[in-house]
Amino acid sequence: MKERRWPWLVSGLALVLASISGAAATYLWWLPCRGRMLVGTDFGPRYSDALLGEECIDRMNEGTPFPLPTEAALTAPGLLLLSTVTMILVAVAWLVPVAALPVSGTTRWGMALPGLTVLAVAVLGVGTTYGTSVESLGYLLDSLLSVFALVGLGVVLVAQVPGQVRFGVVTLSVSALGFAGMVADYMLMIRWSDADWDSPPGSGYLTAALLLLCGIAVLIMTALSPRPASAATAAQQVQQVDPVP
């Protein structure tokens, strides 16, 4: 099975762009804490409610800008758009390589499960922001996202398609948007800040950084992978190995 390079270039670029939009969304999300992001850390004053302020504390209680923003995402122009775009770009990073594989329909749907789930969570996140009754379904799908990512990766491994290592890297990106990723982000952030209930200020930047690293890794592995030989080159190679008398 020949490997195509362009889907992986799209995938890596999508992850890099997702990291940029995710960082921008995180910046807008934490604007109520502007100037007080270091309160309660080793690089700022000791934590106190007075130093953080009521608006910052309220934003901490809202969680993070993605994967499932709340109505607070409507307080800053472009915030909801950036959060949604971040999710969609991660879905693209998974779905484009899957769509380019010459596999059967059943196998393709199994491989596509993680990306489709990310798309569903992105849509439900918009609905959650506007107060519709899809919040429970959104949180359910997001809590299962890491499991679906592993299922999709398992199908990739069983089918023995090209680019398995890169699929593993993108699996990490997809999982970062699920419940497991949110827990990992929280565990790291509470070591950074004493404001450790719900989401410490700055939560979301680590996920954006991970997306950037994964995107760069995918692009580097794609650049270093051997280029598929063209039909003419392949014919020349056959003639050199077994020349016609």
SS (H, E, C) 190-217: HHHCCCCCCCCCCCCHHHHHHHHHHHHH
Higher pLDDT, 104 or 55: 55
Task: Identify the band that residue 241 occupies on the pLDDT scale cut at 50, 70 and 90.
Answer: very low
- Is there a domain that residue 229 lies in? no
In percent, the amount of the chain with pLDDT more than 70 equals 92
Question: Cβ atoms within 10 A of the Cβ of 244, count?
Answer: 5
pLDDT score at 231: 42
- Is there a domain that residue 232 lies in? no
Residue 4: is it exposed, middle or buried by C-beta count within 10 angstroms (0-12/13-18/19+)? middle
**Domains: count for the chain:** 1
Q: What is the pLDDT of residues 181-197, one digit of tens each?
A: 999 999 999 999 998 87
Numbers of helices and strands, H then E, in the chain: 10, 0
pTM exceeding 0.85: yes
- The pair of three-digit structure tokens given for residue 101, joined into one six-digit string: 């594989």
pLDDT score at 99: 94
- Is there a domain that residue 245 lies in? no
Q: What is the pLDDT of residues 61-94, one digit of tens each?
A: 999 999 999 999 999 999 999 999 999 999 999 9
Q: How far apart are CA 110 and CA 145, in angstroms?
A: 14
- Is there a domain that residue 242 lies in? no
Q: How far apart are CA 117 and CA 114, in angstroms?
A: 5
Contact indicator for 209, 19 with CB cutoff of 8 Å = yes
For residues 227-237, one letter each, b for 16 or more C-beta atoms within 10 angstroms of the residue's C-beta and e for the rest, the string is eeeeeeeeeee
Contact indicator for 114, 93 with CB cutoff of 8 Å = no
Q: At what angle do helices 6-29 and 205-224 cross, to 10 degrees?
A: 170
Residue 9 has pLDDT above 60, yes or no: yes
Rounded mean pLDDT, 1-18: 91
Residue 232 has pLDDT above 70, yes or no: no
Q: What is the pLDDT of residues 18-63, one digit of tens each?
A: 999 999 999 999 999 999 999 999 999 998 888 999 999 999 999 9
- Is there a domain that residue 244 lies in? no
Tell me the residue range of the domain where 23 lies. 6-224
Backbone angles phi, psi at 46, to 5 degrees: -60, 145
